[in-house]
């Protein structure tokens, strides 16, 4: 049971490792794009390529769906970002239970957006956890874990792809140990942070934050949904940045600068004042336009050092 890109490597790993996938449950096709044409989920596309039986119930907890699952008689149900809640009746149906592949090192970062939040929080590592599902949200007993490093420049997209592959590998190891009776589930104990769904407020850059926090936000929201600010009242996505640690060549004393002020335009990008330190903005995207270098954007607007990001937003708050 899975829906987005993240779930595809696990499905492929099951087939490649000789497991008999008796059925693939994924969300119904949804309208997408400008034409609002129905689009199949990435898992459905992969399942079609693999020649597997596909089921797309609007609600998996209906008597009809439960009857279908019962008839399929799975020994285990693998769940990866399916997008529907499984009832107790479904959870208890397979002999080896329902096994979830979650994109964090549980018990930390339960919830819908664990990869985004790991990077926004500035973590140096994350990982995947396989667990026996229960009726709670990511609260089941843990089976196995695998770690993945996060570099200073890692984006959510890059870590997502690494964890998707790692999740498939870990699931195969989990099934092997579980079916041999070599695996003891471990209850989740200790503190946990909740990785909530992202809202519009999480996307807006607050220039009063530190350069490090803003940099983490920008890469944590890349490639979706993107951090944004404004420039001359125009919305602007910010896709790439670096924390700037070198001495400024400008003679402007930092005490006179305002938050979000462009201190200098360099060949590498725009040096911007934050609440703590300076950030180098390197890649932006004006509304309705393509991604471009921050320097090209600045030159195209005939902008000057001393202008500010976020001014239009601040005026409306």
- pLDDT of amino acid 314: 41
5 torsion bin: left (phi>0), alpha (psi -120 to 50), beta (else): alpha
User: Is the pLDDT assigned to residue 317 strictly greater than 50?
Assistant: no
Which segments of 108-179 does DSSP mark as H helices, in order? 114-120, 156-179
Give residue-wise pLDDT tens across range 267-276.
Answer: 999 999 999 9
Instruction: Name all domains of the chain by residue range, CATH numbers in brackets.
Output: 5-195 (3.40.50.170), 200-316 (3.10.25.10)
pTM listed for this prediction: 0.92
DSSP letter for 2, please: B
Distance CA 34, CA 27 (A): 21
184: nearest Cα among 142, 147, 146: 142
Q: Are 146 and 169 in contact (CB under 8 A)?
A: yes
pLDDT classification of 311: cutoffs 50, 70, 90: low
DSSP of 44-89: HHHHHHTT--EE--S-TTSHHHHHHHHHH--S-EEEBS--SPPPHH
pLDDT classification of 316: cutoffs 50, 70, 90: very low
Mean pLDDT of 210-224: 97
Mean pLDDT of 278-296: 97
Mean pLDDT of 97-102: 97
Lowest mean pLDDT among 29-33, 69-73, 170-174: 29-33
- pLDDT of amino acid 247: 61
User: Is the pLDDT assigned to residue 142 strictly greater than 60?
Assistant: yes
Lowest mean pLDDT among 28-42, 122-136, 164-178, 209-223: 28-42
- pLDDT of amino acid 42: 98
Mean pLDDT of 109-118: 96
Q: Are 241 and 136 in contact (CB under 8 A)?
A: no
> To which residue do tokens 């000789």 refer?
18
289 torsion bin: left (phi>0), alpha (psi -120 to 50), beta (else): beta
Distance CA 135, CA 110 (A): 14
């Amino acid at each position: 049971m899975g829906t987005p890109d993240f779930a595809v490597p696990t499905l492929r790993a099951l087939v490649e490792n000789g497991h008999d996938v008796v059925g693939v449950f994924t969300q119904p096709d949804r309208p997408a794009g400008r034409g609002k044409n129905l689009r199949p989920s990435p898992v459905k596309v992969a399942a079609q390529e693999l020649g597997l039986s596909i089921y797309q119930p609007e609600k998996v907890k209906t008597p009809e769906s439960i009857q279908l699952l019962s008839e399929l008689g799975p020994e285990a149900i693998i769940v990866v970002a399916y997008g529907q809640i499984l009832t107790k009746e479904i959870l208890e149906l397979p002999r080896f239970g329902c096994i979830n592949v979650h994109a964090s090192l549980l018990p930390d970062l339960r919830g819908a957006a664990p990869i985004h939040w790991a990077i926004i929080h500035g973590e140096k590592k994350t990982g995947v956890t396989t667990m026996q599902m229960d009726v709670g949200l990511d609260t089941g007993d843990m089976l196995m874990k695998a770690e993945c490093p996060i570099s200073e420049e890692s984006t959510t997209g890059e870590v997502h792809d690494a964890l998707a592959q790692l999740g498939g590998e870990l699931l195969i190891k989990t099934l092997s140990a579980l079916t041999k009776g070599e695996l003891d589930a471990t209850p989740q104990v200790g503190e946990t942070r909740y990785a909530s769904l992202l809202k519009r407020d999480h996307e807006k850059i607050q220039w009063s934050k530190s350069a490090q926090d803003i940099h983490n936000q920008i890469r944590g929201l890349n490639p979706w949904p993107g951090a944004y600010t404004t420039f001359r009242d125009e919305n602007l996505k910010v896709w790439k940045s670096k924390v700037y640690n070198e001495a400024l060549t400008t003679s402007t004393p930092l005490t006179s600068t305002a938050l979000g002020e462009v201190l200098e335009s360099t060949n590498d990008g725009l040096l911007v004042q934050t609440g703590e330190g300076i950030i180098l903005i390197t890649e932006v995207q004006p509304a309705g336009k393509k991604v471009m270098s921050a320097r090209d954007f600045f030159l195209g607007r005939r902008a000057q050092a001393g202008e500010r990001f976020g001014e239009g937003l601040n005026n409306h708050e």
